[in-house]
Structure 1
Amino acid sequence: MTEDSFVENLDRPHCTVVLAITADGNISDRPTTAARFGSPRDLAHLETQVAQADAVLFGAATLRAYHTTLSVRDPHLIAQRRQRGRPPQPQQWVCSRRAQFDPQWRFFQQPIPRGLMTTDQGAIAWQGRREFEQIITTGAAIAWPPVFRQWQAQGVERVAVLGGGVLVGSLLAGGWVDELRLTLCPLLLGATAAPMAAALPAGVKLELLSCEAIASEVFLHYRVIRSDPEAA
């Protein structure tokens, strides 16, 4: 199977995980710090994946580490979105059970549509405020079936997941991830870093669709050999 031939007929939005990882499998140098080891080429690759998405999803720890998110800035990518009948920016969704964020973070000033995915308790502090245009609540815990149903009802076709490991692990465990786009970076961070494997379920099978080495980075594209998503 070639990369271009990978098309699935899904009854839910297509979900792609996009991550930069070190050669020893870490996604940041500490569990709560931002990953800064990707090259400008990797950043451009990430922006391309964001531009192809209707919704971007990331976890609370990722937002706390960066205080911001990656918007689409390349004029050509914005023009391509408009040609597809999409708004200039995809929806940017943060997933958090407690939703304890500082409204002064740059994320809340970025010119992007923001959404919050949280529990009933986590939504209380944000009700009636302007920081989030949409809030999806899933009861006492995060549950993916109602989230994907609501996205589908809103016309979301493609979701890009940008981390962190716990969020990616939850989606993989439920069978919601269709692709992984991993940038393998030429760096070893060692035992004090944040290993990706610690948050992942065992036994997820992948099929390599493409592999491209640019300078010292390797861009890997996998298809997840998927089972049926968890029952709604």
Structure 2
Amino acid sequence: MMNRPHTTVVLALSADGKIADVARKAAEFSSSIDRAHLERQVAEADAILFGAGTLRAHGSAMSLRNSDLIAARNQQQKPDQPLQIVCTRSGNIPTEIRFFQQKIPRWLLTTKQGAKQWENQNLKSTSRFDEIITFETANQEIDWEKTLSELKNKGIENLAVLGGGELVAALFQQQLLDELWLTICPVLLGGKNAPTAIEGIGVSAENAQQLKLLSVETIDQEVFLHYSIARE
């Protein structure tokens, strides 16, 4: 048994594989059907993980509003809302965003320097995280294996990752992903600087990660793809 949560990436993509436009604004190209799909995936998770860039773009977390989904969580003795975990190396998060007014549990995942930065900047602020977690490597990057192990030890069995591309890339490169839910939306964004689902330097074709298609569904103009990560 792996000592980390089961980790699923949930993203909406343009038909050319972009998760946002060249200005890196919050993606608004998916439909209400996809947003309902996203809410169902969030409802199944114990915690939601996303990068600070994603939070800055949206200004808020993906909280549950569907009363049936909340009731289903309650029947499983889970809280109304899954835990929301913001990931940032720098600790630079604006405090005026709606995220800090939402009725959700909030954790900060950062480096030791990022934790100091956040605490020093917000000594007089009412914006707070319920918990701050810091695990870092020798080069002061977030140590993902130790971090996910700690999340598992804290009772998080299912983790949903909602972006952005740099966060997904870090987990992908260390083979810490288990499933992908990808919604292909009928738009083209283009641009070499528009973010993709997996940023970073990538891998060679010889080392490409293999996937197993679990399901595919077309609803109106969108295609919903569900993959598992193939393991050797």
Structure 2 length normalisation: TM-score? 0.89
Give the corresponding residue for 1:44: 36
Q: Which amino acid aligns with 1:155?
A: G
Alignment of 1:133 onto 2:130: yes
Give the corresponding residue for 1:175: 175
Q: What are the ranges of 5 or more consecutive residues in structure 1 without an aligned counterpart?
A: 1-8, 228-232
Q: Which amino acid aligns with 1:176?
A: L
Aligned length: 219
**Superposed CA RMSD:** 1.6
**How far apart in 2 are the matches of 1:55 and 1:31?**
28
**How far apart in 2 are the matches of 1:97 and 1:208?**
33
Q: What are the ranges of 5 or more consecutive residues in structure 2 without an aligned counterpart?
A: none
Contact 2:168 2:198 (8 Å CA) reproduced: no
Contact 1:166 1:200 (8 Å CA) reproduced: no
Q: CA deviation at 1:108?
A: 0.8
Give the corresponding residue for 2:229: 224
Q: Which shifted more, 129-138 or 149-158?
A: 129-138
Give the corresponding residue for 2:219: 214
Q: 1:159 to 1:122 in 2, by over 3 A?
A: same
Q: Which amino acid aligns with 1:99?
A: G
Q: Which shifted more, 176-185 or 99-108?
A: 99-108
- Structure 1 stretches (4+) deviating beyond 6 angstroms? none
Structure 1 length normalisation: TM-score? 0.89
- List per-residue Cα deviations over 1:156-182 (Å, max 9, x = no partner): 100000000010011011111000000
Q: CA deviation at 1:200?
A: 6.7
Q: 1:40 to 1:63 in 2, by over 3 A?
A: same
**How far apart in 1 are the matches of 2:101 and 2:213?**
39
Give the corresponding residue for 2:107: 115
Q: CA deviation at 1:209?
A: 0.3
Give the corresponding residue for 2:200: 199
Q: Which shifted more, 208-217 or 132-141?
A: 132-141
Q: Which shifted more, 157-166 or 121-130?
A: 121-130
**How far apart in 1 are the matches of 2:13 and 2:127?**
35
Q: 1:23 to 1:200 in 2, by over 3 A?
A: farther
- List per-residue Cα deviations over 1:103-146 (Å, max 9, x = no partner): 11101111000011000000014447751001111132211122
Q: CA deviation at 1:102?
A: 1.4
